[in-house]
Amino acid sequence: MCREEKKLCMSHLLSKKIYPLCRTDEFEQVAVNTKVMRPTVKQTKAYLLCEACEGNLSKNGERITVPLLSRFGGQFPLYQRLLKKKPIQVTESMSVYAAADNPEIDVPKLVHFGIGIFWKASVHSFGSGSDCHRIDLGEDSEALRLFLRGEALLPNHVALAVAVESGPIHYPAMIDPFPGDNQDFMNYFFYVPGMQMQIYIGDGVRESSSAKYCINVNPIYPILLVPLAKDMRGFMAKHSAAAYKTEKLLNTTAEIEARGMSVKLGD
Ligand SMILES: [Zn+2]
């Protein structure tokens, strides 16, 4: 990120501190992709950044944002902070909150956190088994890098939307940056427990209907409260439909179900 020659640290695509939010002390998290579904302690990381650049991402985004995510047991500080103010718009599908009016929401840190994850995915494969970067942001990857270093503002054709879980189930999962379904712009999303971020890139994005709800475009800094769990579970189910379940996973599943609890992985 600094373009200097330095010793590299092991950098996580999604912050290391999010993993404990996706597992219990007793069971490992389950890694899911199109080919395999397995319990594992492995994390998605790579030698990517120097210590100073890791420190930048931590200080300017992760350290403030990760503690606000949903955790086992029901605590969800981001949700609780949002609800201290009234929404400025309520529709059948969502409530819109103005983070500009909420001193407990640090918008620059939220934006830095999100942009940091999209940027990392745009410059490395993170062990995906291919040499390709996780996502292709083209020349805009460089614009994001400059923003993260505090050397430039986000370009006008980049918009970031933040959505927070409105429902009672806070899906305890992480989804790496992946193409979204917006047809008009380049669009990727990622999910961390209780929060989804989407990036939209393209000419005219600020004038589009989706930009109205983007945190770096609208001066009220909108954050959307929407049901996320079903969509995120559905996304994982769709992409893992043909995945092989390891024996360890089947044994763990059987053990949990023998205790009278239901496990529907990826459902
Ligand atoms: Zn560096």
Give the Å distance between the CA of 221 and the centre of ligand 1: 30
Residue 125 pLDDT exceeds 50:
yes
Give mean pLDDT, residues 79-89.
97
Give the Å distance between the CA of 8 and the centre of ligand 1: 8
Q: 264: pLDDT confidence band, cut at 50, 70 and 90?
A: low
**Which percentage of the chain shows pLDDT scores above 90?**
83
Give mean pLDDT, residues 163-178.
94
pLDDT score, position 266: 47
Give mean pLDDT, residues 61-78.
93
Give the Å distance between the CA of 75 and the centre of ligand 1: 34
Give the Å distance between the CA of 110 and the centre of ligand 1: 21
Residue 232 pLDDT exceeds 70:
yes
Buried-exposed string 93-112: b where 16+ CB fall within 10 A, e elsewhere: ebbbbbbeebeebbeebbbb
Digit-coded pLDDT (tens) for 35-48: 999 999 999 999 99
Give the Å distance between the CA of 54 and the centre of ligand 1: 7
Give the Å distance between the CA of 4 and the centre of ligand 1: 6
Q: Please name which of 187, 106, 198, 195 lies closest in space to residue 161, comparing C-alpha atoms.
A: 198
pLDDT score, position 150: 98
Give mean pLDDT, residues 178-186.
95
Give the Å distance between the CA of 119 and the centre of ligand 1: 14
Residue 158 to residue 168: CA distance in whole angstroms:
32
**189 — phi, psi (to 5°)?**
-135, 160
Give the Å distance between the CA of 96 and the centre of ligand 1: 37
Residue 74 pLDDT exceeds 80:
no
Model's pTM, two decimal places? 0.95
Give the Å distance between the CA of 50 and the centre of ligand 1: 4
| Cα dihedral 18, 21, 26, 27 sign | negative
Using DSSP's 3-state secondary structure scheme, residue 95 falls into: strand
C-alpha distances in angstroms, 197 versus 5, 24, 108, 131, 259? 31, 25, 14, 25, 35
1-5, 97-101, 176-180, 207-211: segment of lowest average pLDDT: 207-211
Give the Å distance between the CA of 133 and the centre of ligand 1: 19
Q: For strand 8-12 and strand 89-90, is the pairing parallel, antiparallel, or unpaired? A: unpaired
Task: Establish how many alpha carbons lie within 13 A of residue 2's alpha carbon, considering only the half-sphere containing its beta carbon.
Answer: 14
Give the Å distance between the CA of 46 and the centre of ligand 1: 14
Give the Å distance between the CA of 52 and the centre of ligand 1: 6
Give the Å distance between the CA of 47 and the centre of ligand 1: 11
Give mean pLDDT, residues 178-202.
96
Residue 265 pLDDT exceeds 90:
no
Residue 231 pLDDT exceeds 70:
yes
Which pair of structure tokens corresponds to residue 135? 């996502």
For the chain, give the mean pLDDT: 94
Give the Å distance between the CA of 43 and the centre of ligand 1: 21
Give mean pLDDT, residues 80-99.
96
128-132, 156-160, 225-229, 249-253: segment of lowest average pLDDT: 128-132
Residue partners of 113: CB distance under 8 A and separation at least 6: 61, 62, 64, 65, 66
Give mean pLDDT, residues 116-135.
92
Residue 129 pLDDT exceeds 80:
no
pLDDT score, position 180: 95
Give the Å distance between the CA of 150 and the centre of ligand 1: 13
